[in-house]
């Protein structure tokens, strides 16, 4: 709507923050501790022409607010903030720059790169100490006062899948469907495609319980990427913490809600990957789009004594100041909004260590963690941290508070190295298979706290781990110097695609063995979308800027024989995980406890069936490994499994450890044979393969 020329602004209320319609008008409220004046700017419905300005007439507890009678949803607006332009002391107010409301829930128009978006004169001799007087409004996206009509959720309810039953599938909204030829082109790359029954059925066949989406918050197309003809594909450059990315919505802002309702109806949870550690405004040389112009000194962590510059614990130019109560409020308000308004089941926190930093460094008892864990709504959700950043002491795997799960890159790297054939990996591999007790068995945490994965969006896909010795990122325009330096990958004889049948078979076995480790280890398994049918990124291990077939899932592979077979294999792993509580321990507890006479919860054996002693663990060259696990089922009977791993290049005959049992071969990653009883006292495990046995009644068991 266009504003009425006779509108007069009233004092309004300081709460809620953002723009809120009450049916008779709209209340505006925005935080700034250091501004001297804030203007509300109203635009035409297309956001192109500024029509009116009002000074927000009241400031209560550093919240500036005003109320426009007769205004209604659909109103397009932005802010201008007055105050000192004093970068040396952390202040960067510039009223010539239109600012996006940090609480904007819907955006109008794209950002158009222009030098006018910067608070200083580009290429000026004084750099960011200079002052730019050009109006940035023509280049800026604007906020839209949202409709407040509730979304109809019907009988949909959150699946509330227990952590112990959770299987995560990490996917990108756009990449999951851009090459879906069975979808109409307008639907591809949108939230609506997530609701497509064929996609949902695919997840169900795999045994997936939880869909984790890469960022869906509105994000910036960074200037340095657009100048290279590239795009910010992953979305880790947040422009708005409350608005969904417009490019993912085909017709209306409810498409994501509709997709979540459909997924919930199918029993699938939805988690969002969220980026509260930094914003898209970058360092002191970045643009002034929202937080910087509203109150730079409050929203960002600045270098003490040198407030012109930003603390950069994120590697992205700035660090959000979660030690400030209003900034922490913004983050928790955002989380509650996505949980309440969109029905989101949980969050994966990008660079979670940054969120736990106080002035003295990382603190697992930080205000951020405390705020979430005491919140009656947020504490019930699934909360996952990426347990590192680039700041001091930035690697904190296993050091998050109870209630959080953590991405376990030690699991990823150990499994890759073990199956690559590195020396001295048996001990570390054993720890990863048993829920990384050395890292997580503290403060009454459960094994589900370790999120086990072999591949994620950041790095090689599973297919590429076994096809490339090094990364091939030339298309990113950074001279091939970006991405992980050490991938712990191996090409098995030829770099990239090959027609050699021996190499192809070896690669296939290694991939299946690594997948078995993900699903048959204690902890929470996570699968990268496309790994279930062999999706490749052609060796690019940092495809953050590749919004093209390099990153998009190639669903034609899923229809080929090899892709179908691998998908069936993943589904089999999921089924085995559900069937056997011994491969997904509910607690750490005493590993020597015997659920069945003579059978401990965890026991390790060499290929000859003998228990591993200190000398065997210390061997650098020995690689074969047998893990026996036992757990009680709900009916009180014992579930006992043997997991035998052979990462070597030759078959190995594994002797079965005592006590004897009626073993059933449940899985052989080298073959597709169905489950069958085992007659011999030994099992030959093929090269680069895993065998899983499940026991019938053990000798000495109670009847």
- What the block records as the tokens of 261 is 């309702």
* pLDDT average, residue stretch 515-537: 98
Q: What is the rounded distance in angstroms from the CA atom of residue 351 to the CA atom of residue 390?
A: 9
Please report, rounded to a whole number, the percentage of residues in the chain having pLDDT higher than 90.
92
The mean pLDDT of 27-54, rounded to a whole number, is 97
**pLDDT beyond 80 at 3:** no
Stretch 4-8: mean pLDDT, rounded? 76
pLDDT-based confidence at residue 697 (cuts at 50, 70, 90)? low
CATH of 583-695, one of 2.60.40.1180, 3.40.50.10610, 3.10.330.10, 2.60.40.2470: 2.60.40.1180
Backbone angles phi, psi at 581, to 5 degrees: -60, -20
Residue 1 pLDDT class (50, 70, 90 cuts): low
pLDDT tens per residue across span 398-444: 999 999 999 999 999 999 999 999 999 999 999 999 999 999 999 99
Contact 406/450 with Cβ under 8 angstroms?
Answer: yes
Q: What is the pLDDT of residue 701?
A: 41
Same fold, 18-145 and 583-695: yes
Contacts 24+ apart (CB under 8 A), 72-75: 72/1, 72/21, 72/25, 72/26, 72/145, 73/21, 73/26, 73/144, 73/145, 73/146, 73/147, 73/148, 74/1, 74/45, 74/144, 74/145, 74/147, 75/1, 75/3, 75/19, 75/26, 75/42, 75/144, 75/145
Q: Is the pLDDT of residue 149 over 90?
A: no
pLDDT of residue 702: 35
Nearest residue to 54 via CA among 64, 44, 42, 71: 42
Name the band, by pLDDT with cuts 50, 70 and 90, for residue 26. Answer: very high
pLDDT in tens, 557-602: 999 999 999 999 999 999 999 999 999 999 999 999 998 888 999 9
- CATH class, 18-145 region: mainly beta
Per-residue pLDDT for 278 more than 60? Answer: yes
**pLDDT at res. 112:** 97
Beta strands of 70-223 (E only): which ranges? 76-82, 85-86, 91-92, 107-108, 142-144, 168-171, 210-213
pLDDT computed for residue 391 by the predictor: 96
Domain segments of the chain as ranges: 18-145, 583-695
pLDDT of residue 253: 81
Rounded-to-integer distance, Cα 51 and Cα 2, Å: 8
Does the pLDDT at position 140 exceed 50? yes
Residue 397's pLDDT is 98
Residue 703: the pLDDT is: 29
Average pLDDT over every residue of 281-293 = 98
Compute the Cα dihedral for 362, 319, 33, 290 and give only its sign. negative
pLDDT top residue among 230 and 698: 230
Sorting pLDDT into bands at 50, 70 and 90, what band is 498?
A: very high
pLDDT value at residue 262:
97
Q: Facing residues of 62 across strands?
A: none
110 pLDDT higher than 80: yes
Question: Catalytic residue positions?
Answer: 350, 386
β-pairing verdict for 450-452 and 524-528 = parallel
Strand partners, 82: 37
| 234 closest CA partner among 244, 223, 220, 246 | 220
Q: What sign does the CA torsion over 311, 316, 321, 322 have?
A: negative
pLDDT at 251: 80
- Residue 612: predicted pLDDT: 95
pLDDT digits (tens, 9 = 90+) for 201-211: 999 999 999 99
Q: What is the pLDDT of residues 323-374, one digit of tens each?
A: 999 999 999 999 999 999 999 999 999 999 999 999 889 999 999 999 999 9
Handedness of CA 268, 348, 465, 616 (dihedral sign): negative
Q: Which two tokens stand for residue 209?
A: 């319980």
Neighbours of 5 (CB within 10 A): 7
Q: What pLDDT does residue 156 have?
A: 84
Across the chain, mean pLDDT equals 95
pLDDT for res 599: 93
Cβ-based neighbour number of residue 418 at 10 Å = 24
Task: Give me the pLDDT at residue 257, please.
Answer: 96
Q: CA 236, 305, 367 angle in degrees (round to 5)?
A: 50
Q: What is the pLDDT of residues 637-678, one digit of tens each?
A: 999 999 999 999 999 999 999 998 999 999 999 998 888 998
Question: Closest by alpha carbon to 141, among 56, 32, 239?
Answer: 239
């Amino acid at each position: 709507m266009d504003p009425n020329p006779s509108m007069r602004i009233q004092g309004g209320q300081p709460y809620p923050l953002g723009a809120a319609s009450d049916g008779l008008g709209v209340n505006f409220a925005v935080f700034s501790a250091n501004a001297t004046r804030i203007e509300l700017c109203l635009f035409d419905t297309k956001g192109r022409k500024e029509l009116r300005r009002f000074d927000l007439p009241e400031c209560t507890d550093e919240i500036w607010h005003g109320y426009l009678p007769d205004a209604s949803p659909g109103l397009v607006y932005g802010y201008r903030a007055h105050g000192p332009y004093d970068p040396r002391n952390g202040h960067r107010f510039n009223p010539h720059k239109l600012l996006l409301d940090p609480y904007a829930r819907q955006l109008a128009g794209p950002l158009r790169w222009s030098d006018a978006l910067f608070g200083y004169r580009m290429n000026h001799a004084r750099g960011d100490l200079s002052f730019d007087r050009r109006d940035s409004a023509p280049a800026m996206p604007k906020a839209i006062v949202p409709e407040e009509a509730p979304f109809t959720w019907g009988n949909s309810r959150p699946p509330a899948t227990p952590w112990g039953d959770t299987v995560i599938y990490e996917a990108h909204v756009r990449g999951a469907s851009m090459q879906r030829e069975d979808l109409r082109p307008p639907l591809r790359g949108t939230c609506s495609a997530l609701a497509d029954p064929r996609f949902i059925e695919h997840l169900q066949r795999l045994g997936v319980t939880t869909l984790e989406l890469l960022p869906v918050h509105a994000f910036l197309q960074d200037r340095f990427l657009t100048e290279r003809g590239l795009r910010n594909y992953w979305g880790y450059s947040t422009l708005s913490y409350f608005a969904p990315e417009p490019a993912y919505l085909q017709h209306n802002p409810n498409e994501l809600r509709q997709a979540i309702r459909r997924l919930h109806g199918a029993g699938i949870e939805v988690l969002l990957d969220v980026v509260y550690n930094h914003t898209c405004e970058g360092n002191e040389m970045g643009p002034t789009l929202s937080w910087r112009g509203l109150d730079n000194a409050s929203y960002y962590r600045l270098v003490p004594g040198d407030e012109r510059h930003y603390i950069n614990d994120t590697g992205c130019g700035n660090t959000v100041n979660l030690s400030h109560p209003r900034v922490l409020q913004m983050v928790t308000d955002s989380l509650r909004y996505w949980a309440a308004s969109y029905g989101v089941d949980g969050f994966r926190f990008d660079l979670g260590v940054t969120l736990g930093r106080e002035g003295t460094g990382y603190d697992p008892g930080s205000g951020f963690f405390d705020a979430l864990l005491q919140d009656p709504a947020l504490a019930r959700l699934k909360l996952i941290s990426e347990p590192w950043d680039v700041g001091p002491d930035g690697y904190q795997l296993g050091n998050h508070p109870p209630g959080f799960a953590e991405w376990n890159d030690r699991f990823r790297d150990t499994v890759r190295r073990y199956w690559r054939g590195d020396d001295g990996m048996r001990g570390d591999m054993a720890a990863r298979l048993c829920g990384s007790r050395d890292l997580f068995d503290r403060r009454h945490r459960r094994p589900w706290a370790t999120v086990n994965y072999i591949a994620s969006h950041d790095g090689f896909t599973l297919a590429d781990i076994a096809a490339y010795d090094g990364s091939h990122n030339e298309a990113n325009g950074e001279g091939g110097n970006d991405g992980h330096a050490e991938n712990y990958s191996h090409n098995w004889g030829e770099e990239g695609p090959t027609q050699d049948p021996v190499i192809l078979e070896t690669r296939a076995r290694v991939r299946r063995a690594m997948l078995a480790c993900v699903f048959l280890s204690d902890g929470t398994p996570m699968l990268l979308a496309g790994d279930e049918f062999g999706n490749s990124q052609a060796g690019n291990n940092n495809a953050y800027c590749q919004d093209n077939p390099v990153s998009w899932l190639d669903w034609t592979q899923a229809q080929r024989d090899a892709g179908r077979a691998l998908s069936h294999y993943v589904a089999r792993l999921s089924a085995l995980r559900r069937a056997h509580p011994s491969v997904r321990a509910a607690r750490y507890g005493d590993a020597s406890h015997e659920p069945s006479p003579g059978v401990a919860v965890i026991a390790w054996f060499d290929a000859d069936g003998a228990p591993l002693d200190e000398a065997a663990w210390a061997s650098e060259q020995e690689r074969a490994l047998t893990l026996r696990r036992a757990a009680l089922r709900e009916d009180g009977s014992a579930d006992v499994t043997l997991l035998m791993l052979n990462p070597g290049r030759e078959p190995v005959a594994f002797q079965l450890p005592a006590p004897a049992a009626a073993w059933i071969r449940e899985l052989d990653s080298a073959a597709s044979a169905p489950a069958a009883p085992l007659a011999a006292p030994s099992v030959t495990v093929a090269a680069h393969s895993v065998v899983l046995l499940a026991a019938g009644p053990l000798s000495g068991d109670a009847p």
